[in-house]
Amino acid sequence: AMADAADQKMSFLEHLGELRTRIVWSLIPTLIGMIVAFRFSDRIITFVARPLSTVNVELIALTPTETFWTSMKMALIAGVFLATPVILWQVWAFVVPGLHTHERRFAGPFIIIGSLLFVLGGAFALFVVMPFSVIWLTNFGQSQGVRAMYSVALYADFVMKFTLAFGVIFEVPLALTMLSRMGVVTPQFLAKNRKYAILLNVILAAFLTPTGDVLNLSLMAGPLIVLYEVGILAARIFGGRAGAAAETVPAS
């Protein structure tokens, strides 16, 4: 019994060591991407501030260092998006020991599709959700007689949280498909527990929404629910460890 406990402890420590290694190898390309993106930080800030021009609002800096540190944070988020393929490769390398041999060939699709979904989620936030929510919320405030002048740091935090959150939630179909292939869940289980998933999606959207208002909660919860349904469909088509394993067993 003591030997088993020691083996379990060593296995746990080995997993922690492996996780630390994967995190380090994810941080390195992220920092490289951050350095590259920092050279274009002025263009990034101008881009994310474009919805404000339609409602006649300007960004202001409340401290001498605010713009610099905002540029650094924006460059870091851009670095995460640039490093997404490498980060997903590290995720794959961490989970691959739990996969069957015939499932390990999905490394390429996992990295490519995961990267595309993450970027697509960020683009959806920047081009669809952000302009709509910023303009609507600003107009609402101005209709109450409030003159809007936004801090560049607070506005950037608002944009970055939305962008990262949508990048992550767009990974839902891929995550559900992978869980199905690993035998953790089945499409039938996901469909049967749809109502609980919708409730969890709304709670998650409330947690991820920076402002906490009903509009932005709906803008995040809606895509989450749709992506869950897409995930069920993808799990039906591409998931299923049992089915995949059966294909590899010759008929007797």
Cβ neighbours of residue 88 closer than 8 Å, sequence gap 6 or more: 110, 111, 114, 115, 118
Q: Which of 106, 93, 239 is nearest to 177 (CA)?
A: 239
pLDDT of residue 9: 53
pLDDT of residue 98: 64
Which amino acid does the sequence have at 222? Answer: G
Q: pLDDT 10s per residue in the chain (252 long)?
A: 544 554 555 476 777 888 888 889 999 999 999 999 999 999 999 999 999 988 889 899 999 999 999 999 999 999 999 999 999 999 888 877 766 666 677 788 888 999 999 999 999 999 988 888 888 888 888 888 888 889 999 999 989 988 998 999 899 998 888 888 777 888 888 888 888 888 888 888 877 776 666 777 788 888 888 998 998 888 888 765 544 443 444 443
Buried b (16+ CB within 10 A) or exposed e, 32-54: ebbeebbeebeebbeebbebbee
